[in-house]
Amino acid sequence: MLLGPILGNVVGGAIVDQVSWRWIFYINVPVGVAAVIAAQRLLPDARPRLGERLDLRGLLLLSPGIALFVYAMTEAGNRGGFGATLTVVSAAAGLALVALFIGHARRRGKAALLDLSLFRRRGFGTAAALNFLLIGALFGSLLLLPLYYQLVRHESPLQVGLLLVPQGVGAALAMPVAGWLTDTIGARVVVSIGIVVATLGTLGYTQVGAHTSYLLLALALLAVGVGIGSTIAPSMAAAYQTLGREETPRATSALNVVQRVAGAIGTALLAIVLQRAIAADIPHFGGGIQGIGALARQPRTTPLLAHAFGTTFWVAAGLIGAALAPALLLLPRRQSQGTSQQAAEPGAAKHRQAA
């Protein structure tokens, strides 16, 4: 987790720069094979839970619903809005299927594909809301940063990967310290401070121009990395502290769904804001990511593009700053530990009774 964000951007940039962008996808095949082999050899066997059945109706509602919604968000980001009929229909169909799943899950309870009752718990619900905002801002920023460096500063993919290293370094420096502090004083203080630091770092990018100092950009990105490293992992820990061991698999599935949807919404939101900001400054802008690339080849539009990126980073900073509200609602350390013990007691009692 510490090395991935540092090496991934550099290796990815080198592949795009020296080989082909298609290898960004091809390389997942050997990596995936290696992961499967490692899982078979290293992961311990989990005891099967007899009597539990797959929620097939929930699967048929939720999976295509999320897929359609994510597709619609992707198309909206690429096209700069929801003007296309297919995008609107896909989003509506996806939301309708998700709404049907929510009704189904409420009736089925804990036997549903996702246990929605987890979100009613303060510790888990606030951590899920926190992750939604942070992941949305993070994924959206991961779209903006490379585009700024490539389109405004005209850097190569490998150079962009190297310029993104400070974020990974910041996260690598913060995560071990944040973990220790979370165990010591609780997640609420650690996460809140991390959000403030990440917001301040993102605010630095709201001032980007066509010739902004790379040192200032690196320091701002380092602050963003420190903030991210101090927020996401501790908030996940806070979510699990309020659960019993038998609830962990369902909680993991729920948080993964939250993060995937947040990433799609955050990326689409910032892509749309960027294109609207460009259109406001450059009237002849035709829209779409391809249109931004065409503008980048015109030197006279470079300052205007930089201004549009700065405007969009205000939205990213706002998303990160908004996460402070659920962060302050995270349970204090003592209360979360007490809740965790209470959640574990029914499971322990059941095992004692079975024995």
- Is 32 contained in some domain? no
- Is 98 contained in some domain? yes
Asked if the model's pLDDT at residue 341 lies above 60, the reply is no
Q: How many domains does the chain have?
A: 2
CA distances from 24 to 11, 28, 73, 294 (A): 10, 7, 22, 23
- Is 43 contained in some domain? no
Mark whether 101 and 146 lie in a shared domain. Answer: no
Examine the fold and report which residue of 63, 91, 112 is the final residue of a domain before the chain moves on: 112
194, exposed or middle or buried, with CB in 10 Å at 0-12, 13-18, 19+?
A: buried
- Minimum mean pLDDT among 13-27, 197-211, 226-240, 326-340: which range? 326-340
CATH number at residue 198: 1.20.1250.20
Mark whether 195 and 133 lie in a shared domain. Answer: yes
Mark whether 145 and 101 lie in a shared domain. Answer: no
DSSP 8-state secondary structure symbol assigned to residue 265: H
Angstrom distance (rounded) from CA 333 to CA 103: 34
| DSSP output for 173-210 | HHHHHHHHHHHHH-HHHHHHHHHHHHHHHHHHHTT--T
Structure tokens at 138: 């993070």
Mark whether 65 and 209 lie in a shared domain. Answer: no
Which domain does 61 fall in, by range?
55-112
Mark whether 102 and 166 lie in a shared domain. Answer: no
For the residues 219-235, what does the mean pLDDT come to?
Answer: 91
Q: To the nearest whole number, what is the mean pLDDT of the chain?
A: 85
Mark whether 69 and 204 lie in a shared domain. Answer: no
Angstrom distance (rounded) from CA 99 to CA 92: 10
Examine the fold and report which residue of 112, 127, 142 is the final residue of a domain before the chain moves on: 112
Structure tokens at 204: 């630095």
More confident residue, 323 or 348: 323
State residue 235's pLDDT score: 86
- Is 15 contained in some domain? yes
Mark whether 223 and 74 lie in a shared domain. Answer: no
- Is 220 contained in some domain? yes
33, exposed or middle or buried, with CB in 10 Å at 0-12, 13-18, 19+?
A: exposed
Asked if the model's pLDDT at residue 268 lies above 80, the reply is yes
Beta carbons of 148 and 208 less than 8 angstroms apart: yes
For the residues 218-238, what does the mean pLDDT come to?
Answer: 90
Residues 287-340 have pLDDT tens digits of 666 677 777 777 778 888 899 999 999 999 999 999 999 999 887 765 555 554
Examine the fold and report which residue of 97, 112, 127 is the final residue of a domain before the chain moves on: 112
For the residues 136-163, what does the mean pLDDT come to?
Answer: 89
SS3 262: helix
Structure tokens at 268: 């689409």
Mark whether 137 and 161 lie in a shared domain. Answer: yes
State residue 198's pLDDT score: 94
Mark whether 130 and 233 lie in a shared domain. Answer: yes
State residue 110's pLDDT score: 84
State residue 352's pLDDT score: 39
Residues 63-101 have pLDDT tens digits of 999 999 989 988 887 777 787 888 899 999 999 999 999
DSSP 8-state secondary structure symbol assigned to residue 213: -
User: pLDDT confidence of 245, banded at 50, 70, 90?
Assistant: confident
State residue 141's pLDDT score: 87
- pTM for the whole thing? 0.82
- Is 273 contained in some domain? yes
State residue 288's pLDDT score: 67
Angstrom distance (rounded) from CA 202 to CA 90: 32
Please name which of 292, 273, 37 lies closest in space to residue 146, comparing C-alpha atoms.
292
CA distances from 82 to 89, 153, 171 (A): 10, 30, 35
Mark whether 60 and 104 lie in a shared domain. Answer: yes
Other CB atoms within a 10 A radius of the CB of residue 196 amount to 17
Beta carbons of 148 and 312 less than 8 angstroms apart: no
- Is 81 contained in some domain? yes
Contact residues for 256 (Cβ-Cβ < 8 A; gap 6+): none
Mark whether 223 and 303 lie in a shared domain. Answer: yes
State residue 50's pLDDT score: 65
- Is 282 contained in some domain? yes
Beta carbons of 328 and 192 less than 8 angstroms apart: yes
Mark whether 242 and 322 lie in a shared domain. Answer: yes
